[in-house]
Structure 1
Amino acid sequence: MVDDSAGSRGPLAGVKVLDFSQAWAGPLCTRTLGDLGADVLKVESDAFMDVSRTLGPYPASPDRDSSGYFLEWNRAKRSVSLDLRTDEGRASAQRLASLCDVVVENFSPGVMERLGLGYDVLHEANQQLVMVSISGFGRTGPAREHVAFGQQIEAVSGLMSLMTYDDGRPTKTGISWSDPLAGFLAAFSVLAALEQRDRSGKGEWLEVSMLEATLATMGRAFALMNVDRSPADEFRGGRHPELCPAGVYPTHGEDAWIAIECRDQAEWESLCRVAGVDWADRSEFSGPTERLRNRDELDSLMASLTTNLDAQVLADELQREGVPASPLVSIADLLGDEHLADRGFWVTVDHPTVGKLVTAGTALPIAPATRASMPAPPILGTTTFEAEWP
């Protein structure tokens, strides 16, 4: 019987997930499954807890149960303490795997096998088991044993080469983009595998490579490469390879910016009309080819225009004319965003030690009542063995 307190409401009600994952990609996968109603049991121990419990930020003094990093990715789960270094701990994990529908892990390839928890062992006891393994490079290939986090994948995937300053110096995304990509892809893969299992009666072992998850989203770069254009040059300095103006421009105020993108001639003419300039009549900016050819001059003019204007006012005026434009919003300002509040995006949970905790929503079409009753991230080891799956 699934414990209703563990988030058993939703389309995955009754699905049992055993979660061996840590850090970001794996926990985001299992949090997504928990948000959809699965009963997620997270396996940790005092000796080998989720590394995100030790990373902070903390609301007060460091505490393994109040790390902001851990709290963000681990709601809608329970926690059981099993020391996988011991025979007893491994035997308990094997028993739980024999009772569950899904196992998720993101250790380096080979770790689960060395623990006696590889797919062959678990599948022998549970023929319907769906197991997903997330790693940097996958479990096969020359790089399979390479250690990688999001930043390393951004580098080796070429994504970092597309995010450069004007002088060509690379940078990274602010959030290690490869981790959440792999996490959501893993959750999607689990849903597909459960559907297939319902038809065939058989489970399967899935693998998600962070490298391949990242590459799968970079189609525009490959399209440029296929016509002998350099993606790194085309995207240099945050530019768009086909559109101009299309960039982020300074506005009035400290560190205030606006993102503007004109996709066609009509939007370009609307921008000029709103701004009160005659640039659309100038031969060097008359069409998309001309604007791309004279991109540097046009970007300089755009920056001179916007620097004395209010970002929100300008964005509103452009939006009324159908021109894509948005002010740059700080992360701190998002909690007060009227649109997100109206859509009920934020999820507030009651945590035993932190109290009221606001976390990012799952962005999935979940009923408001379910969203409002999601369980808080777990205190380590608070699920007793007797309270696990019968």
Structure 2
Amino acid sequence: MTRIGEKMRPLEGVTVLDLTRVVAGPYATMILSDLGARVIKIENPNDPDYTRDFEPYLVDEDKKQSAFFAQYNRNKEAITLNLKEEDGKEIFRNLVIKADIVFENYRAGIMDKLGVGYENLKQYNPKLVYTAISGFGQKGPYSKWPAYDNSGQALSGLWSINGMPGEPTRIGTIIGDEAATFFATIGTLSAYIHAQKTGEGQFVDVAQLDSSLALTENAVSNYTVGGQIQQPLGNDHPLCRPYGKFKAKDGYVFFGGYTDRFWKTTCEFFGEPELINDPEIDTMPKRFNEETYNRRVLPKINEWFSHYTCQELQDALAEKLPLTAIHSMDQVLEDPQLNFREMFIDYYYGKAHGKLFGNPIKLSATPCDTSGGAPEIGQDNEKIYKEFLGIEKKELEKYKEKGVL
């Protein structure tokens, strides 16, 4: 709820029932919660989100909380509910009546098998937006396969175009999960707007494989139009030179001075303006030629950069052309631009403290709120079940004894 003197957030009044776990789903619902939605995380009491056990931990006396779990579950409430129990199914259906969105990331068909898939739930709430993130989508020859992030990276071709020449390499983050996060968030908000306009809910089907494919840039068109099967290029670029990683005195920088304008600026800064009109390297296409680049351009850049630290190069050139230091994570935490944009938030778990990344969405009138904590398992059972369904504490205890909560 908006407090006096605070700005309203855009999704206030929206209720999300969150059955997801690990990253792809929890990250999407956390974005919605940062934007003001009321997100209720629902976990099986016997099989909760297993990222609660991921190290490292925020430790407060005899309690601890996974920093990984906290990163993707802030601003949420939490209840327990066992959907394998008939009473659990009925309770969930009654919760759905008062919700706007359901989010899940089970394998395709699991929720239908339990009797609480979209076709069942829309009978209770026709305006319901039901979002399912899965490895391969709800239908198709792979739909029943289990999947991890690497599954999408492998089949989509991302592995085959990443890494150094000669061997496919996994991208060093769960980018397939995160891609599914963002597409699911976009799809959910689009479906929600439609539901508000028409009263018609719908099923939002987002596959990790599809989402990973959508990150392969121009690899599809390179093959279908140009007949080229894209291979790993390491830190090079298929269309631009110089554009990549270059060694400085104390580390590495990214330098993208391939256009004629940026090349001119570079040559002038390093005191060799005569190279601007050198007939062998005076145009962008000439500098892109691999033999010419390796013989004339690359050695010159290496010589120039070897006399300066990463910070010196960035301080001198970053406002004039694309040149930035390649930071390790300890340096990232000190970056003035990221700190100015409040991309690191202070997170407290009792007396324990850590920094987590914030929300990249910056809204001028209805800003995100990243201040909330991640919930303990079932911490809001009593409050939410009474508020939504009128279930009193004694009845909750009975459900707990039966294994429903």
Q: Same fold (TM over 0.5)?
A: yes
Matches within 5 A, 1:204-215: 204-215=202-213
Aligned to 1:260: 255
Between the aligned partners of 1:124 and 1:371, the Cα distance in structure 2 is 33
- RMSD, aligned CA: 2.6
1:173 pairs with one of 168, 171, 174: 171
Aligned to 2:116: 117
Q: Is this contact kept in 1: 2:58–2:349, CA < 8 A?
A: no
Between the aligned partners of 2:23 and 2:370, the Cα distance in structure 1 is 23
Question: Secondary structure of the residue that 1:124 maps to in structure 2?
Answer: coil
Q: Is this contact kept in 2: 1:247–1:260, CA < 8 A?
A: yes
Between the aligned partners of 2:212 and 2:178, the Cα distance in structure 1 is 10
What is the CA-CA distance between 1:377 and the residue it aligns to?
A: 0.6
Identity %: 27
Between the aligned partners of 2:7 and 2:89, the Cα distance in structure 1 is 26
Amino acid at match of 2:44: S
Between the aligned partners of 1:199 and 1:279, the Cα distance in structure 2 is 61
Between the aligned partners of 2:200 and 2:306, the Cα distance in structure 1 is 61
Q: Is this contact kept in 2: 1:132–1:206, CA < 8 A?
A: yes
* 2:247 matches 1:247: no
Amino acid at match of 1:251: A
Amino acid at match of 2:112: E
What is the CA-CA distance between 1:372 and the residue it aligns to?
A: 5.6
**Residue deviations 1:299-339 (CA, integer Å, cap 9, x gap):** 3443343234211211222224x211100112222222222
Question: Secondary structure of the residue that 1:131 maps to in structure 2?
Answer: strand
What is the CA-CA distance between 1:8 and the residue it aligns to?
A: 11
**Residue deviations 1:215-260 (CA, integer Å, cap 9, x gap):** 2233322332244253524x5122111111001111112xx11000
Between the aligned partners of 2:256 and 2:94, the Cα distance in structure 1 is 55
Matches within 5 A, 1:1-390: 9-59=8-58, 66-166=65-165, 168-228=166-226, 230=228, 232-233=230-231, 236-253=233-250, 256-277=251-272, 278-293=274-289, 294-297=292-295, 298-320=297-319, 322-352=320-350, 355-366=352-363, 371=368, 374-388=371-385, 389-390=387-388
| TM-score calculated relative to the size of structure 2 | 0.86
The structure number with the bigger radius of gyration is: 2
Q: Quick check: 237-246 or 366-375, which moved more?
A: 366-375
What is the CA-CA distance between 1:24 and the residue it aligns to?
A: 0.6
- Structure 1's 9 and 376: CA in aligned 2 closer, same or farther, altered over 3 A? farther
Q: Which segments of 5 or more consecutive residues in structure 2 lack a partner in the other structure?
A: 389-405
Question: Secondary structure of the residue that 2:132 maps to in structure 1?
Answer: strand
Size of the alignment, in residue pairs?
381
Question: Secondary structure of the residue that 2:9 maps to in structure 1?
Answer: coil
- Structure 1's 335 and 59: CA in aligned 2 closer, same or farther, altered over 3 A? same
Question: Secondary structure of the residue that 1:18 maps to in structure 2?
Answer: strand
- Structure 1's 368 and 251: CA in aligned 2 closer, same or farther, altered over 3 A? farther
Between the aligned partners of 1:379 and 1:21, the Cα distance in structure 2 is 15
What is the CA-CA distance between 1:50 and the residue it aligns to?
A: 0.8
Between the aligned partners of 1:213 and 1:259, the Cα distance in structure 2 is 27
Question: Secondary structure of the residue that 2:234 maps to in structure 1?
Answer: helix
| TM-score calculated relative to the size of structure 1 | 0.89
- Structure 1's 313 and 49: CA in aligned 2 closer, same or farther, altered over 3 A? same
Q: Which segments of 5 or more consecutive residues in structure 1 lack a partner in the other structure?
A: none
Q: Is this contact kept in 1: 2:59–2:349, CA < 8 A?
A: no
Q: Is this contact kept in 2: 1:19–1:40, CA < 8 A?
A: yes
Q: Is this contact kept in 1: 2:36–2:368, CA < 8 A?
A: no
Aligned to 2:393: none
Question: Secondary structure of the residue that 2:312 maps to in structure 1?
Answer: helix
Q: Is this contact kept in 1: 2:74–2:370, CA < 8 A?
A: no
Between the aligned partners of 1:71 and 1:287, the Cα distance in structure 2 is 51
Amino acid at match of 1:179: D
Q: Is this contact kept in 1: 2:2–2:8, CA < 8 A?
A: no
Question: Secondary structure of the residue that 2:133 maps to in structure 1?
Answer: strand
- Structure 1's 306 and 170: CA in aligned 2 closer, same or farther, altered over 3 A? farther
Between the aligned partners of 2:7 and 2:380, the Cα distance in structure 1 is 16
What is the CA-CA distance between 1:355 and the residue it aligns to?
A: 3.3
What is the CA-CA distance between 1:25 and the residue it aligns to?
A: 0.6
Between the aligned partners of 2:177 and 2:299, the Cα distance in structure 1 is 36
Amino acid at match of 2:280: E
Between the aligned partners of 2:247 and 2:178, the Cα distance in structure 1 is 30
What is the CA-CA distance between 1:40 and the residue it aligns to?
A: 0.3
Between the aligned partners of 1:284 and 1:316, the Cα distance in structure 2 is 30
What is the CA-CA distance between 1:207 and the residue it aligns to?
A: 0.5
Question: Secondary structure of the residue that 1:359 maps to in structure 2?
Answer: strand
**Residue deviations 1:162-196 (CA, integer Å, cap 9, x gap):** 21213x22222221211111101111111111110
**Residue deviations 1:20-54 (CA, integer Å, cap 9, x gap):** 00111100110000000000000113311112112
**Residue deviations 1:313-370 (CA, integer Å, cap 9, x gap):** 11222224x2111001122222222222222232334334x63343211111246996
Between the aligned partners of 2:286 and 2:2, the Cα distance in structure 1 is 64
Q: Is this contact kept in 2: 1:45–1:380, CA < 8 A?
A: no
Amino acid at match of 2:40: L
- Structure 1's 131 and 351: CA in aligned 2 closer, same or farther, altered over 3 A? same
Aligned to 2:395: none
Q: Is this contact kept in 2: 1:9–1:36, CA < 8 A?
A: no
Between the aligned partners of 2:367 and 2:353, the Cα distance in structure 1 is 17
